[in-house]
């Protein structure tokens, strides 16, 4: 059903969507036969998706249609967060995922009916299935033990499928290359340090400031140099806010593929564990989760990657994962209290994991 092409400029934000544009898009995909005569726009997701605007669309048709009368529209962020998206080309990456990988990934994702990016203005739109019957999770609350094991098992299937076989096509984000490590360091991490230290001073002390500073200055060491080399396809933002659990108990839906691409599978595991679990639960089950992931890879045919290697990679990447809270806290506009709380939660959980895993000995 995925489509792209002319028309997305008329929906550069959720406030610009029109009945005429929806009619053209849905008719071009043979999803409706009449016309959209009215559209109601209801924004949602503030403080959850920092890099985009989200809205639920309720449509009125000229004649009865079998197609849904509710859809979700995702558009480019309408604040300075768009600049961060541009640096890493988030919007093209997500459109490319849905067009070229999504149906083959083995992970349930929303049905997408239209996606496009205007590279001249970096306006962006994705029109997708409304998951109104699904229950979104809350990263601030943190994943439960059952949710954590489910998330790790789910992503292991994607990693195993592409392990050592991920394509090297020009469109695919080289997520954990030396070039990207330098970009993350110079364009996001280091420029975010001072603002993070100022805005979140109550969450930091002299020791943690030095840790943040050291990781930023030596970022490629923890992102590329000291971890295993085999690559696969990764989500890149695998965290609790991006999962939707169906109320009927069927397959979990995974959202927000803006940073997906070629990288180390253990990154998705590390990022989820150190920032989506409450620290007390992480301490109890982190090694079990890593063993579970490694076991699933092994059963799927992945060889020469055991727990000891994975755990070493994990400790290095707990340091590298600081780039996410650093960017959220220092470079993004959270726009609301929930967004700020998310940055604070990511930062404090990550720093606590660094301390408890004695990751500073890796310096």
The CA distance from 234 to 262, in Å, is 6
> What are the two backbone dihedrals, phi and then psi, of residue 113, each rounded to the nearest 5 degrees?
-105, -20
Token pair recorded at residue 309: 């290697």
The answer as to whether 3 is a domain residue is no
Single residue among 78, 112, 129 that ends a domain in this structure: 129
The answer as to whether 109 is a domain residue is yes
> What are the two backbone dihedrals, phi and then psi, of residue 251, each rounded to the nearest 5 degrees?
-60, 135
> What are the two backbone dihedrals, phi and then psi, of residue 14, each rounded to the nearest 5 degrees?
-65, -20
Which CATH number is 99's domain given? 3.30.200.20
Element housing 115 (H / E) = strand 112-118
Residues spanned by the domain of 202? 134-362
What does each of the 363 residues of the chain score in pLDDT, given as a tens digit? 445 554 444 456 777 889 999 999 999 999 999 999 999 999 876 645 567 888 999 999 999 999 999 999 998 887 777 777 787 788 999 999 999 998 889 999 999 999 988 888 888 899 999 987 666 688 999 999 999 999 999 999 999 999 999 987 777 888 899 999 999 999 999 999 999 999 999 999 999 999 999 999 999 999 999 999 999 999 999 999 999 887 776 688 998 999 999 999 999 999 999 999 999 999 999 999 999 999 999 999 999 999 999 999 999 999 999 999 999 898 776 566 888 899 999 999 999 999 999 999 999
Prediction pTM value:
0.90
The answer as to whether 329 is a domain residue is yes
Element housing 60 (H / E) = strand 52-61
Are residue 96 and residue 203 in the same domain, yes or no?
no
Are residue 50 and residue 78 in the same domain, yes or no?
yes
Are residue 119 and residue 266 in the same domain, yes or no?
no
Are residue 193 and residue 275 in the same domain, yes or no?
yes
Q: How many domains does the chain have?
A: 2
Nearest CA to 223 out of 177, 286, 262 is that of 177
The CA distance from 94 to 256, in Å, is 7
The CA distance from 261 to 174, in Å, is 6
Single residue among 129, 156, 174 that ends a domain in this structure: 129
Count Cβ atoms below 10 Å from residue 179 Cβ, excluding itself: 10
The answer as to whether 1 is a domain residue is no
Single residue among 75, 103, 129 that ends a domain in this structure: 129
Are residue 159 and residue 287 in the same domain, yes or no?
yes
The answer as to whether 319 is a domain residue is yes
Are residue 72 and residue 191 in the same domain, yes or no?
no
The structure tokens 């989500």 sit at 235
The CA distance from 144 to 31, in Å, is 39
Are residue 31 and residue 178 in the same domain, yes or no?
no
Are residue 123 and residue 249 in the same domain, yes or no?
no
Say if residue 146 is exposed, middle or buried (CB neighbours under 10 Å; 0-12, 13-18, 19+): exposed
Are residue 124 and residue 144 in the same domain, yes or no?
no
Are residue 244 and residue 321 in the same domain, yes or no?
yes
């Amino acid at each position: 059903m995925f489509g792209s092409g002319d028309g997305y400029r008329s929906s550069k934000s959720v406030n610009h969507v029109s009945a005429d544009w929806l009619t053209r898009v849905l008719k071009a995909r043979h999803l409706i036969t009449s016309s959209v005569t009215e559209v109601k726009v209801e924004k949602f997701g503030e403080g959850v998706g920092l890099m985009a605007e989200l809205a639920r669309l309720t449509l009125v048709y000229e004649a009865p249609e079998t197609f849904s009368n509710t859809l979700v529209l995702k558009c480019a962020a309408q604040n300075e967060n768009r600049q961060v998206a541009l640096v890493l080309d988030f919007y093209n990456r997500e459109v490319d995922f849905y067009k070229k990988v999504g149906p083959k990934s083995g992970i349930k994702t929303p049905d997408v009916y239209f996606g496009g990016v205007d590279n001249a203005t970096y306006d962006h739109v994705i029109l997708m299935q409304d998951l109104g019957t699904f229950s979104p999770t809350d990263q601030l609350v943190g994943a439960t033990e059952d949710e954590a094991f489910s998330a790790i098992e789910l992503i292991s299937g994607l990693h195993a499928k592409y392990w050592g076989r991920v394509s090297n096509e020009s469109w695919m984000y080289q997520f954990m290359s030396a070039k990207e490590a330098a970009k993350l360091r110079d364009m996001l991490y280091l420029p975010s340090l001072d603002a993070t230290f100022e805005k979140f001073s109550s969450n930091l002390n002299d020791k943690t400031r030095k840790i943040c500073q050291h990781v930023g200055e030596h970022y490629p060491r923890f992102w590329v140099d000291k971890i295993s080399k085999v690559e696969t396809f990764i989500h890149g933002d695998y965290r609790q806010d991006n999962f939707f659990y169906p109320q009927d108990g069927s397959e979990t839906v995974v959202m927000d593929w803006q940073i997906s691409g070629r990288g180390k599978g253990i990154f998705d595991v590390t990022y989820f564990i150190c920032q989506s679990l409450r620290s007390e639960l992480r301490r109890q089950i982190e090694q079990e989760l890593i063993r579970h992931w490694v076991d699933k890879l092994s059963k799927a045919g992945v060889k020469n990657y055991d727990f000891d290697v994975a755990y070493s990679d994990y400790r290095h990447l707990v340091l590298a994962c600081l780039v996410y809270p650093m960017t959220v806290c220092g470079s993004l506009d959270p726009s609301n209290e929930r967004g700020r709380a998310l940055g604070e939660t990511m930062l404090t959980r990550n720093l606590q994991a660094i301390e408890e895993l004695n990751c500073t000995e890796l310096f």
